[in-house]
Amino acid sequence: MQIQVSGHQIEITPALRDYVDTRCERLARRFDHLTSLNVVLEVEKNHLVNRAEGTLATAGTVLHADAVDGDMYAAIDALFDKLDAQVRKHKDKLRTHGREDIRNLA
């Protein structure tokens, strides 16, 4: 999987890049068909808010999430929690697509 980390009004330090990479490993373990991840980290100076946006391309769909927090690392954590929930939902849809629910047959 290709990972691209970019910053808007912030310099991407090696520590931030490593943190994004370690958080991304969890997504890669959960779902094998991930092709690319684009993460944009942004600092809004006027409001002292850190924003993390992520676009995850999988085989067949594109997932997007964003998170806002006072701390950049907390924003990255929230972003990957949201992406993880979307990946779980997408994987569940792929697994159960086309099957009838046994509970509804009774």
- The domain that holds 82 is classified in CATH as 3.30.160.100
Classify residue 19: in a domain, yes or no: yes
Classify residue 40: in a domain, yes or no: yes
Classify residue 71: in a domain, yes or no: yes
* pLDDT of the residue at 106: 47
Q: Residue 48, class by beta-carbon neighbours within 10 Å (0-12 exposed, 13-18 middle, 19+ buried)?
A: exposed
In contact, 76 and 23? CB cutoff 8 Å: yes
Classify residue 37: in a domain, yes or no: yes
Total domain count for the chain? 1
- Provide the domain limits for residue 90: 2-97
Classify residue 73: in a domain, yes or no: yes
* pLDDT of the residue at 87: 92
Q: Is the pTM of this model over 0.75?
A: yes
Q: Which of the residues in the chain have pLDDT under 70? A: 98-106
- Reported as type and span, the H/E element at residue 61 is strand 61-69
